[in-house]
A and B are shown apart, each in its own frame.
Chain A
């Protein structure tokens, strides 16, 4: 049996699906724009835990241990 390229429900919901697709695309663009705006802001600070590279922890003390 040949596969139908488009189910009947797809044509019925075409307008809705296109609308949701466009909105999701716009949402992704907005998040990208927001992220660039935030990280290029003068107030932006890299979190201390990320300052020395991804996943590395900042030493809690610079004076060494007691051992």
Chain B
């Protein structure tokens, strides 16, 4: 990390929205959605007040880790086009403020989740924040092309924590299937982004697979991970959290996703440049719907299982 704090110029007072932007609201939305699904898919009902408070504290914890990520990565965020408008490189919030906000909210969210749900949920949130900030942000992201693969685990914990909020139990298969779904989905999702963001990661000297092994290898990896993801995603239909709704959703989405990965694998750089990475962009957009639809289907199965409560 370089010293961004001292070289920054600030335009006026930071507003509440700037601090909110530090917490990566779009990532928080994904965290809330997958955690709610994890909580409702569990075979134990949760008091609505306790459930709401617990998910809120989990979201705050996720936001805190986002703020800490932006604090540490302020130097590379300032280089990449995709992140240059984030609050710190844009000069709206100081890096030090992001650090203080991240540390304070991390402590508060872990403590409050431990009190509102159970100690295991609090401990798992603490581990998730630690994993995202220290091994991923501070270490792996700048040292290995497997950064996204291992770092993807941090984004995969929320449904597990949702499950723990409801049950207090971690030694069952179902939450780990949801974990595996996000874990296997993350690499093709981010590698597709890396393909069409082109020089962003090169400029920032982040060793993404596109930078270290080239775009051909990245296309191969996208297809390889997608095949494994398809097996996992369709196989989940035959477990306790699956069912007919999930199976139909998975079959449709995985067929589309596999087709998209195959199309990416077939193309070379000249073909992608010719249509401005249209196939890669389409695959990236599809990946967002892919995850939403799978977790939506798990939620639908849980709702059907509750006997018409929804």
Looking at the complex, which one of B13, B49, B53 makes contact with A12 (CB distance below 8 Å)?
Answer: B13
Residue B43 lies at the interface, judged by CB distance under 8 Å to chain A: no
Residue B14 lies at the interface, judged by CB distance under 8 Å to chain A: yes
Which residue of chain A lies nearest to B13 when distances are taken between CB atoms in the complex?
Answer: A12
Chain B nearest CB: distance from A9 CB in Å?
8
Residue B16 lies at the interface, judged by CB distance under 8 Å to chain A: yes
| Chain B residues whose CB sits within 8 angstroms of the CB of A34 once the complex forms | 49-50, 53, 115-116
Contact check, B16 vs A19: say whether CB atoms are below 8 A apart.
Answer: yes
Looking at the complex, which one of A13, A19, A30 makes contact with B53 (CB distance below 8 Å)?
Answer: A30
| Chain B residues whose CB sits within 8 angstroms of the CB of A15 once the complex forms | 15-16
Q: How large is the interface on B (under 10, 10 to 19, 20 to 34, 35 or more residues)?
A: 10 to 19
The docked-state distance in angstroms from the alpha carbon of A17 to that of B154 is 33
| Chain A residues whose CB sits within 8 angstroms of the CB of B50 once the complex forms | 34, 37-38
Contact with B along A10-33 (1 / 0, CB 8 A): 001101100110000000001001
Looking at the complex, which one of B15, B49, B115 makes contact with A16 (CB distance below 8 Å)?
Answer: B15
| Chain A residues whose CB sits within 8 angstroms of the CB of B13 once the complex forms | 12-13, 16
Contact check, A20 vs B16: say whether CB atoms are below 8 A apart.
Answer: yes
The docked-state distance in angstroms from the alpha carbon of A16 to that of B13 is 9
Which residue of chain B lies nearest to A23 when distances are taken between CB atoms in the complex?
Answer: B16
| Chain A residues whose CB sits within 8 angstroms of the CB of B56 once the complex forms | 30
Residue B7 lies at the interface, judged by CB distance under 8 Å to chain A: no
Contact check, B53 vs A16: say whether CB atoms are below 8 A apart.
Answer: no
- 8 Å CB interface, B1-58 against A: 12-16, 47, 49-50, 53, 56
With contacts A34-B53, A34-B116 taken as known, whether A41 is within 8 angstroms of B15 at the C-beta atoms is no
The docked-state distance in angstroms from the alpha carbon of A30 to that of B50 is 10
| Chain B residues whose CB sits within 8 angstroms of the CB of A19 once the complex forms | 16
With contacts A30-B53, A30-B56 taken as known, whether A37 is within 8 angstroms of B16 at the C-beta atoms is no
Q: List 18 A-B contacts (CB under 8 A).
A: A12-B12, A13-B13, A15-B15, A15-B16, A16-B13, A16-B14, A16-B15, A16-B16, A20-B16, A30-B53, A33-B49, A34-B50, A34-B53, A34-B115, A34-B116, A37-B47, A38-B50, A41-B47
A-B pairs with lowest CB-CB distance, top 4: A19-B16, A37-B49, A12-B13, A34-B53
